[in-house]
Structure 1
Amino acid sequence: MTPPSAPALKEIFNRERLEHIAEAMLAVDPAFDRRGFLQLATRDLAGLSVMQRLARVSESLHAVLPVGYEANLARLYALAPRLNSRFVCMFLPHYVASYGRHDFERSMVALKHFTTFGSSEFAIRPFLASDPQRTLAVLRDWARDANEHVRRLASEGSRPRLPWSFRLERLQADPALAAPILEQLKADPSPYVRKSVANHLNDITKDHPDWVLELIESWSLEHPRTAWIARHALRSLIKQGNRRALAIVGAGQRPQVRLQELRVEPAVIRLGQRINLSFALESTADSSQHLVVDYAIDYVKASGTTSAKVFKLKALTLPAGAREQLGRAQHIRELTTRRHYPGRHALHILVNGERLGSTAFDLQP
C-alpha cells in the first residue's frame, strides 16, 4: 500500500487555522470583526501558495482593524503568544513590513519582538532594500543580542539569496556590507545561528567565491564552532571540487585510494523507487588522509542532455592501508526543484573533488 502523502505546506494556513487566528484576535479585541476577517482571508484560498496565504492573513487583518499603526501593533503584540505555530506567527512581521515602513524605529522594535515567536527574516528585507545603511546598523546591534532568535535574524534576514524572498542586490554586489554581522557570529554558541551564518556565506559563494575563501582563511578554525560554519559554508565550492575550499577543510591533497566494488542497484527503476549505491575505498597511502566523499548523478533533462547534481556523502579520515565501505539509498521521485525524465543516469564517485569511477542506472517511463 502506498503511504499517504504529507499535506501541502500551504495547508498550515487552512480554514481551521484561520479560525484559530480569528478566535485569538477576538480574545485580544472583543470588537474584532471576526466574520469580516474570515470572509477576506478564506477567499479563493485553495489557489493560494503558502506565502500568498501568509500575506493574505496580514492583509485581511489590516482591512478590518481600525486605522492606526501603533494601536494595531499593540493588538498584534497581545496576539502573538496566543498563536499555536511559529510559522503561522510570521504573518505578524509581514504586517510590519507591509504597513510600518513609515515608522522605522517602531517597526524595528516590532520585528525584533515578533522574531522570537516566528522569524522576521522576510519582513526585514524591504527595510534593507529601501534603507540599507540604517537597517544594517540595527542588524549589527542585533548580532550581539542575548536571544538566539534575534541573532539569527541578523544573519538570515541579510542573506543575499534567501529562499522564498527577493534578492538583496546591494548585499549581493558587495558582501562586505554584512561582514561585521558574520564576524560577530562566526563562533556563536547556538547551532540555529551558526547554520544561518553558514547558509549566508554559502549564498555569497555563488557570486563572490574568492571573497568567502579569503574571509574563512583569515579565521582560526581551531574553534569547533567556527570550523563547523566553515565546512557548511563551503559545501557548494567543495561539491565543485574547489581546491582552496577542500584545503580549508583538510582535504586539499589528491586522494591516494582505490575505488572498489562500485555498484548501484537495481540497475533499472521506475519513478518513485529507490537506488542503493555501494562501494569501498582502500587506502594506498603510507599515512592517514582526510577524505571528502561525494557522488554526482547526471540527471536526464527534457532535451535528452544531462545536468549533474552533487550530493554529500561522508567526510572521513582513512588510516594507511585501511578500507572503508560506503553506501547510500536515494529515492528517485518528483520534487518541486527537480523533474525527472526517462533515460540512462550516470553516477560518479568524487573524492576530494576528483572523479574516481562511474556507474549508471536506467529510469524507465
Structure 2
Amino acid sequence: MAEPLKNLLDGSQVDAMAAHLSRVCHEFDREAFVARARPGLDALAFKARAMQLADALEVALPADFDRAADALEASLAPVTAHDFDEPGELRTHALGLAGWPVWAMGEYVARRGQDLPDRALAALHALTQRFSAEFAIRPFIVRHPARVIATLQRWTTDRSAHVRRLVSEGSRPRLPWGLQLKALIADPSPTLPLLEALQDDPSGYVRRSVANHLNDIAKDHPARVADWLQRHLPEASAQRRALLRHASRTLVKQGDVAVLAAWGLGQPLQGRAVLRVTPASIRLGESVDLNLMLVSTSPQPQRLVIDYAVHHVKANGSSSPKVFKGWNLELAAGEHRAMLKRHAVKPITTRTYHPGWHRITVQVNGQAVAEGGFMLG
C-alpha cells in the first residue's frame, strides 16, 4: 500500500526547516518553531499540517516581514540543484529547502506579506521555483488585483518555467484546494492575455496549466472558451491543438454545440445506435458492461465523440447525471462497429450510491442517441 501523501510533511520536515532557517537567520527562534510545529502533527490531514507549519513560522521568524522573507529565500535549495516537472517531485536536501515544506512557507508569505505586496511577490517568485506558490499568490490577487496581474504579465516571459506556470495556475478561478477567485469567476477577462501569452509555451508543464485554467473558465463562461477555440484553433500547431482539446473537455462532455462545431464534431450521427447493458442487476462494488453498436447510413466517414452519462439515483428518488468519457473515433461509410466499455460502480468519497434504476444515456457529438440501464441493489 502506498504511503499516505500527508506523510510528506512529517517530523523530519520540521527538523529540516528548523535546521535550514537557523543556519541562515540568527533571529529565527528554533525552539519556538519546533514547539509549535510538532505537537499533534501526525494526527492532522495534509493541508492542516501545512497550516500548522505556517503557524510555527509566524511565531519563530522575525516580526519584520522583509527580514523574514530574506530568511525564507536564503533557506531554499539552489534552483540549479534540481530539475522537476511536478512540485511533488521535489525534496529538501543538504543545500536547502524544497518540496512540500515550501507550501507552509508560501502560506506564511500570504498571511504576513499583504502590506508589502511587492516584497511578498518577490518571495513567491523564489518559492515557486522550489515547489509552487499557486495557493499563496491567491490572497494577493484578491487584495491587490491590478498589481498582481501586472506582475503576472511580466512573469509570462520569465526564464523559469515554474514561474511561468505560476502565472496560469495561481490565477485559475477554481483551483482545487485553493481559495476561489470570485472576481475572476465572474469575469475572467484579466487573465485571458496571460493565457494567450502562454498557450504556446515551450514547457508542457506550463501548457497543461493553461489548459486547466481554460477548462475552469469553461465551467462559468462556455461562450468565452468557444470564442477562444474559434480564434486560436485554426492552423494551430499540434501542441496547441492538444492544449485546446484538454481545455475543451468539460464542454465536449456537455455537448456544447459551439465547441463541438469548432472541433468539426457538430454533426449528429447519421445512422443508428443500440446500447445493451449487462448484467441487468448488480450490487455496489460490481461492474456493468456497456455494449454499443453503431451503424452508419452515411456515404461519408463520420468523426464522432462518444460519451455516456450515468444517471445516479439520489436519496429522494430523483437522479443526477454524471458524464464519463467513451470513445473518439472515425466511423467509416456504411460501417457497423461494436464497442465495449466496462463501468465500475465502486464506493468513492465524492459520491453516495443509492439503490434503484440507474439509467445510462449514450451521446454522440453531444446528442443522446441510445439508452439502457441497470438496477443497483
Q: TM-score, normalised by structure 2?
A: 0.86
Aligned residue in 2 for 1:232 = 246
1:127 aligns with 2:148: no
Matches within 5 A, 1:64-75: 64-75=60-71
Which amino acid is the alignment partner of residue 52 of structure 2? R
1:36 aligns with 2:21: no
Aligned mate of 1:278, from 291, 295, 302: 291
8 A contact 1:188–1:225 mirrored in 2: no
8 A contact 2:139–2:179 mirrored in 1: no
Aligned residue in 2 for 1:61 = 57
1:298 aligns with 2:294: no
Q: What is the distance in 1 between the residues matched to 2:330 and 2:100?
A: 40
Aligned residue in 2 for 1:187 = 200
Q: What is the distance in 1 between the residues matched to 2:13 and 2:342?
A: 37
Alpha-carbon displacement from aligned partner over 1:14-45 (angstroms, at most 9, x marks no partner)? 34443444444455558855443333123343
The worse-fitting range, judged by mean Cα deviation, of 175-184 and 326-335 is 326-335
Q: Secondary structure at the match of 1:80?
A: coil
The worse-fitting range, judged by mean Cα deviation, of 24-33 and 283-292 is 24-33
Q: Which runs of 5+ in 2 are unaligned?
A: 78-90
Aligned residue in 1 for 2:48 = 52
Aligned mate of 1:105, from 114, 118, 125: 118
Question: RMSD of the TM alignment (CA)?
Answer: 2.4
Aligned residue in 2 for 1:359 = 372
Aligned mate of 1:175, from 172, 188, 192: 188
Cα 1:315/1:67, change in 2 over 3 Å: same
Aligned residue in 2 for 1:246 = 260
Matches within 5 A, 1:297-336: 297-336=310-349
Aligned residue in 2 for 1:13 = 9
Q: What is the distance in 2 between the residues matched to 1:250 and 1:352?
A: 10
Q: TM-score, normalised by structure 1?
A: 0.89
Aligned residue in 1 for 2:82 = none
8 A contact 2:33–2:60 mirrored in 1: yes
8 A contact 2:37–2:53 mirrored in 1: yes
Cα 1:302/1:17, change in 2 over 3 Å: farther
Which amino acid is the alignment partner of residue 245 of structure 2? R
**1:295 CA displacement:** 0.8
* Paired residue total: 359
Cα 1:78/1:333, change in 2 over 3 Å: farther
Alpha-carbon displacement from aligned partner over 1:167-187 (angstroms, at most 9, x marks no partner)? 212222221111110111222
8 A contact 2:69–2:120 mirrored in 1: no
Q: What is the distance in 2 between the residues matched to 1:119 and 1:277?
A: 41
Q: Secondary structure at the match of 1:218?
A: helix
The worse-fitting range, judged by mean Cα deviation, of 337-346 and 324-333 is 324-333
Q: Secondary structure at the match of 1:206?
A: helix
The worse-fitting range, judged by mean Cα deviation, of 116-125 and 203-212 is 203-212
1:146 aligns with 2:159: yes
The worse-fitting range, judged by mean Cα deviation, of 38-47 and 308-317 is 38-47
Aligned residue in 1 for 2:72 = 76
Aligned residue in 1 for 2:85 = none
8 A contact 2:153–2:194 mirrored in 1: yes
Q: Which runs of 5+ in 1 are unaligned?
A: none
Which amino acid is the alignment partner of residue 261 of structure 2? A
Cα 1:276/1:9, change in 2 over 3 Å: farther
Q: Secondary structure at the match of 1:271?
A: coil
Q: What is the distance in 1 between the residues matched to 2:311 and 2:152?
A: 41
Cα 1:330/1:190, change in 2 over 3 Å: farther
